[in-house]
Amino acid sequence: MIEDKEMFVQLTKEEAIKCYLNNEVIIFTDEGEKEVFIESLESKQPKSNKKMKRMLGLLPFLEDEQLSLLVDEIIKGDETIEKDLMSVVPFLNQTDCDRLFDKIVIEHNTSINPISIAPFVSEEALSHLVDKFIEGRLKEELMDDIYPFLSSKDINRLFAYLINK
């Protein structure tokens, strides 16, 4: 938004695909354009992506153990599941969310935005993130986006650190 006005920009197909895969909102100028875009994506999907789409329907019915196995696959680097991460996260318990968050932050995984998982992460995991930042192991840009999810105690720790820096 600029001066309380919503602005729209034209995206290249590559940018639109990236936004679509990150579950970001894309506004099309007409329905036909949207249908063609989605059909082009579906026709290019590898078999593994189609399998994952079918698995997504099972998520509400899976036990914690099965969901933990899914998290293990993501942590091992399964890019197929990684692309649908935001569909998976709401069904995970907090321990598995913390494990994923830690992997994303520690490995500086650029394909997954840590902010997208932050609402599901425990206060302890966020506090560990602050510890890592204070130790100099994280970029300042990441912390700027995480502030809304931090406890007041962690905000105060960050403030004290930055004041004394």
| pLDDT reported for residue 91 | 92
- Residue 47 pLDDT more than 70? no
Highest mean pLDDT range out of 42-56, 76-90, 102-116, 144-158? 144-158
Residues above pLDDT 90, as percent of the chain: 29
Rounded to whole angstroms, what are the CA distances from 42 to 15, 29, 32, 109? 17, 20, 15, 25
> Whole-prediction pTM value?
0.63
What would the pLDDT profile of 66-123 be if each residue is shown by its tens digit? 999 988 888 887 666 666 777 888 999 999 999 989 888 877 665 677 888 899 999 9
SS (H, E, C) the chain: CECCECCCCCCCHHHHHHHHHCCCCCCCCCHHHHHHHHHHHHHHCCHHHHHHHHHHCCHHHCCHHHHHHHHHHHHHCCHHHHHCHHHHHHHCCHHHHHHHHHHHHHCCCCCCCHHHHHHHCCHHHHHHHHHHHHCCCCCHHHHHHHHHHCCHHHHHHHHHHHHHC
Mean pLDDT of the chain: 82
Q: pLDDT band at 46, cuts 50/70/90?
A: low
| pLDDT reported for residue 109 | 62
| pLDDT reported for residue 149 | 93
- Residue 27 pLDDT more than 90? no
Residues above pLDDT 70, as percent of the chain: 86
